[in-house]
Amino acid sequence: QVQFVESGGGSVQAGGSLRLSCVASSGIARITLSIYPMAWYRQAPGKQRELVASTDNRGSTNYADAVKGRFTISRDNSKNTVYLQMNSLESEDTAVYYCNALTPTRQMPWGQGTRVTVSS
């Protein structure tokens, strides 16, 4: 049972933009999304999954150094959705992107993610 459903990925050229969405699909996931800090992660081919950005339910955000100034995370608890606006995309941003709770003990099973491919 998938708890978070990611969408919005695609293929773009370097310098382009994409907006990813993550919807909580079940009651437990919706509670998690509305209460706990949420995050976007990514996993590039041959690499481990890494934290990209996080946000708590007061609007505070944190970003990995590699995406600072280019990516923006936001959430809409009324829509059970977390977003990741990605601008000035680089080939190094190519990965499968996932959303989940920031705290490991609050995380749901990982979804399928959404693939982002950036060509230079």
The pLDDT of residue 102 is above 90:
yes
Query: Of the candidates 70, 87, 95, which has an alpha carbon nearest to the alpha carbon of residue 15?
Result: 87
Percent of the chain with pLDDT over 70: 100
- The residue among 57 and 5 whose pLDDT is bigger is 5
Beta strands in 1-120 (DSSP E): 4-7, 10-13, 18-24, 38-43, 50-55, 61-63, 71-76, 81-86, 95-101, 114-119
Residue 48, phi then psi, degrees to nearest 5: -80, 155
- For 46-101, what is each residue's pLDDT tens digit? 999 999 999 998 889 999 999 999 999 999 989 999 999 999 999 999 999 999 99
Answer for the pair 99, 4: CB distance below 8 angstroms, yes or no.
yes
Q: Please classify residue 8 by burial: count the beta carbons closer than 10 Å to its beta carbon, then call 0-12 exposed, 13-18 middle and 19+ buried.
A: middle
Task: State the CB neighbour count (10 A cutoff) for residue 116.
Answer: 22
User: Distance between CA 64 and CA 70 in Å, rounded?
Assistant: 11
Q: What mean pLDDT comes out for the span 25-39?
A: 91
Maximum Cα–Cα distance across the chain = 41
Task: Indicate the average pLDDT of the chain.
Answer: 95
pLDDT of the residue at 97: 98
pLDDT at 59: 86
Q: How far apart are CA 90 and CA 120, in angstroms?
A: 7
Residue type, 61: T
Is residue 112 predicted with pLDDT exceeding 80? Answer: yes
More confident residue, 64 or 28: 64
The predicted structure's pLDDT at residue 65: 98
